[in-house]
C-alpha cells in the first residue's frame, strides 16, 4: 500500500517538475523574442568623427588596385556614398559584404566604397569576396578622421558630401537603418524611435 | 564504503550528456561555415588549420556522444572537450576579445563571450565528472525508467533555459545602456 502511494506521489512530482521546467523554458524563449522586437534595430551610433549634418572629410586616395578614389565633397554623378569600414580579420564583416553589395545595387544606386587599414592581405580579401567592382581603400588616416572604433562601421553621406547616417553595423537591418534614417531625415533610428515614443 | 553512483542516475547523466554533444555536433554540421567563422574569430589557430580543426572538433563531439552511451569512458572525454572550450573562451576573455561570436549554440543564438558561459561549462564538467564515479550495482526497477526519462528531459529543459538566459543577458545590457 505504502509503496504504491510513493510510486504515485513520485510520478506526480516528476510530472509537476517537468511541467514547470517546460514553462521556464518557454518563458525564456518568449523573453528572447521580446528582446529582438524591442531592441533598437538601428545601427549603434558612437560618439566621435564627423556628426550627422556635417560634411564628410575630404580624401583623395588610391585604392588597392591603384584606382583614384575621392571621398567627400560634391559627387559629380549626384550619388550617395556608403563608406563601409571592414577588415579581413573581422568575421561579422564577411557576413555583411554581400548585404552591402545588394544595397548598392538597389535604386538610387549609392556609391559603395570599402575602407580598411593594417598590414593584412587586402588584395586577396577583395578577390575572395569579389569586391573588385568597388573602390577598396586602405588608409589609417581615413579611419582616424571618422574615428572608427569597432568594425564593421558604416558612414552614409548624400550627393553634397553631408553625412546623413553612420554607426556600427552588425546586420542587414543595421545597414538598412542607415538608409532609412537618411530618408526620414533623422540622425538615427534610435532618435526616430525616441521621438515617436515621446509623442505617444 | 566507497562513494558510488546509483545506476539509474548514471544512465540518465550519460544519456543527457550524450544528447548534448550530439546536438552540439548537429548544429555545427548544419552550418559548417558559421562554425568555421566563429572558430576563426577566436584567433587561436592559423587560418590554414581552421577547416581541419573544425572537422576534428565535430568528430570529437560525435565520438564523445558515442562513448557516453556505449562505454563508461565517456565522462572524462566529455570533461576534456568542455575544458578545452572553456579554456578557449577564458583565454579570449582574458585578452579582452569578448565581442566575438561564441559559436556555442549555433548561428541562431549568436552572442558574445561571457563569464557565464565558462561557469555553465564548469557545471557541465562537474556533471561529466560525476559520470566517471564507480557505478553501484542494483537491479533496475520499472520506476527507474520514469526516473531516467524524466531526468533526461528535465536536464534538456533546464540546459535550454540556462542557455536562453545567457543569450538574453547581452541584449538586456544593450537595452539598459540605450
Nearest-5° angle of CA A118, CA A122, CA A124? Answer: 150
Of A17, A36, A92, the CB nearest to B154: A17
Average per-residue pLDDT in chain B? 88
CA-wise closest residue to A154 among A167, A145, A144, A141: A167
Straight-line distance from the first to the last Cα atom of chain B, in angstroms, rounded to the nearest whole number: 58
Is the pLDDT at B53 greater than 80? The verdict is yes
Binding-face residues of A in 108-167 toward B, CB within 8 A? 150
Place of cell 576573455: B93
Do B43 and A89 make contact, defined as CB atoms within 8 angstroms?
yes
Domain assignment present for residue A50? The answer is: no
| C-alpha torsion angle, residues B44, B49, B51, B56 (rounded to 10) | -80
Q: Tell me how many residue pairs between chain A and chain B have CB atoms under 8 A apart.
A: 62
In which band, very low, low, confident or very high, does the pLDDT at B175 lie, cut at 50, 70 and 90? confident
Whether residues A133 and A74 share a domain: the answer is: yes
For the stretch B74-106, pLDDT in tens is 899 999 999 999 999 999 999 888 777 787 776
Whether residues A34 and A64 share a domain: the answer is: no
Task: Please check whether residue A40 touches B, CB under 8 A.
Answer: yes
Tell me the domain boundaries of chain B: 7-177
Mean pLDDT of B143-170: 91
Domain assignment present for residue A44? The answer is: no
Domain count of the fold of chain A: 2
More confident residue, A191 or B24: B24
Listed ranges A72-81, B132-141, B155-164; the one with the highest mean pLDDT: B155-164
Do A40 and B165 make contact, defined as CB atoms within 8 angstroms?
no
The residue range of the domain holding A25 is: 1-39
Do B99 and A150 make contact, defined as CB atoms within 8 angstroms?
yes
Place of cell 585604392: A63
Whether residues A34 and A68 share a domain: the answer is: no
Domain assignment present for residue A45? The answer is: no
Whether residues A64 and A35 share a domain: the answer is: no
How far is Cα B36 from Cα B107, in angstroms, rounded to an integer?
A: 11
What does the pLDDT read at residue A17? 95
User: Which CATH number fits the domain that encloses residue A120?
Assistant: 3.40.30.10
Is the pLDDT at B132 greater than 80? The verdict is yes
Q: What element of type H or E holds A62?
A: strand A59-62
Mean pLDDT of B95-118: 79
Whether residues A3 and A92 share a domain: the answer is: no
List phi, psi (to 5°) of B104: -75, -40
Residues in A closer than 8 angstroms to B172, CB to CB, are: 35
**CA torsion sign, A120 to A129 to B110 to A176?**
positive
The ipTM value here is 0.80
* pTM of this structure: 0.66
Whether residues A90 and A156 share a domain: the answer is: yes
Of B41, B150, B168, the CB nearest to A32: B168
Q: What is the DSSP letter of A69?
A: E
Q: Tell me the C-alpha to C-alpha distance, in Å, between residue B129 and each of A179, B13, B17, B133.
A: 53, 10, 11, 7
More confident residue, B42 or A19: A19
What does the pLDDT read at residue A15? 93
Q: What is the DSSP letter of B18?
A: H
Mean pLDDT of B124-130: 93
Domain assignment present for residue A1? The answer is: yes
How far is Cα B178 from Cα B163, in angstroms, rounded to an integer?
A: 24
From first to last of its 200 residues, what are the pLDDT tens digits of chain A?
788 888 888 889 999 999 999 999 999 989 988 887 776 555 666 667 788 888 888 888 888 888 888 888 888 888 888 888 888 877 778 888 888 888 888 877 888 888 888 877 888 888 888 888 888 888 888 888 888 877 788 888 888 888 888 888 887 888 888 888 777 776 666 666 666 554 43
- Which triple of cell numbers denotes residue B129? 565528472
In which band, very low, low, confident or very high, does the pLDDT at B127 lie, cut at 50, 70 and 90? very high
How far is Cα A89 from Cα A120, in angstroms, rounded to an integer?
A: 8
Amino acid at each position: 500500500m505504502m509503496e504504491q502511494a510513493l510510486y504515485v506521489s513520485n510520478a506526480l512530482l516528476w510530472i509537476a517538475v517537468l511541467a514547470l521546467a517546460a514553462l521556464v523554458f518557454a518563458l525564456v524563449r518568449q523573453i528572447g523574442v521580446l528582446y529582438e522586437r524591442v531592441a533598437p534595430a538601428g545601427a549603434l551610433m558612437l560618439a566621435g568623427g564627423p556628426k550627422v549634418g556635417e560634411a564628410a572629410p575630404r580624401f583623395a586616395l588610391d585604392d588597392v588596385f591603384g584606382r583614384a578614389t575621392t571621398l567627400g565633397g560634391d559627387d559629380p554623378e549626384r550619388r550617395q556614398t556608403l563608406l563601409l569600414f571592414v577588415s579581413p580579420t573581422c568575421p561579422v564583416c564577411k557576413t555583411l559584404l554581400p548585404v552591402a553589395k545588394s544595397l548598392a545595387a538597389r535604386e538610387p544606386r549609392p556609391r559603395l566604397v570599402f575602407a580598411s587599414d593594417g598590414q593584412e592581405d587586402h588584395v586577396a580579401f577583395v578577390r575572395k569576396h569579389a569586391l573588385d567592382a568597388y573602390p577598396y581603400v586602405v588608409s589609417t588616416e581615413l579611419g582616424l578622421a571618422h574615428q572608427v572604433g569597432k568594425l564593421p562601421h558604416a558612414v552614409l553621406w548624400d550627393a553634397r558630401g553631408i553625412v546623413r547616417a553612420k554607426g556600427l553595423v552588425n546586420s542587414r537591418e543595421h545597414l538598412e537603418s542607415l538608409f532609412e534614417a537618411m530618408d526620414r531625415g533623422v540622425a538615427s533610428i534610435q532618435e526616430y524611435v525616441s521621438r515617436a515614443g515621446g509623442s505617444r | 564504503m566507497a562513494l558510488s553512483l546509483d545506476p539509474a542516475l548514471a544512465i540518465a547523466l550519460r544519456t543527457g550528456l550524450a544528447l548534448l554533444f550530439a546536438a552540439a555536433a548537429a548544429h555545427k554540421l548544419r552550418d559548417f561555415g558559421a562554425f568555421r567563422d566563429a572558430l576563426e574569430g577566436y584567433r587561436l589557430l592559423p587560418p590554414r588549420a581552421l577547416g581541419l580543426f573544425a572537422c576534428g572538433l565535430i568528430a570529437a563531439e560525435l565520438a564523445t556522444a558515442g562513448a557516453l552511451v556505449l562505454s563508461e569512458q565517456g565522462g572524462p572525454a566529455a570533461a576534456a572537450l568542455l575544458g578545452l572550450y572553456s579554456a578557449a573562451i577564458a583565454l579570449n576573455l582574458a585578452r579582452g576579445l569578448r565581442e566575438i561570436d561564441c559559436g556555442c549554440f549555433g548561428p541562431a543564438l549568436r552572442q558574445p563571450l561571457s563569464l557565464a558561459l565558462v561557469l555553465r561549462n564548469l557545471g557541465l564538467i562537474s556533471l561529466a565528472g560525476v559520470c566517471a564515479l564507480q557505478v553501484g550495482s542494483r537491479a533496475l526497477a520499472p520506476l527507474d525508467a520514469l526516473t531516467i526519462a524524466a531526468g533526461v528531459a528535465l536536464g534538456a529543459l533546464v540546459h535550454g533555459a540556462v542557455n536562453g538566459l545567457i543569450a538574453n543577458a547581452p541584449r538586456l545590457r544593450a537595452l539598459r545602456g540605450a
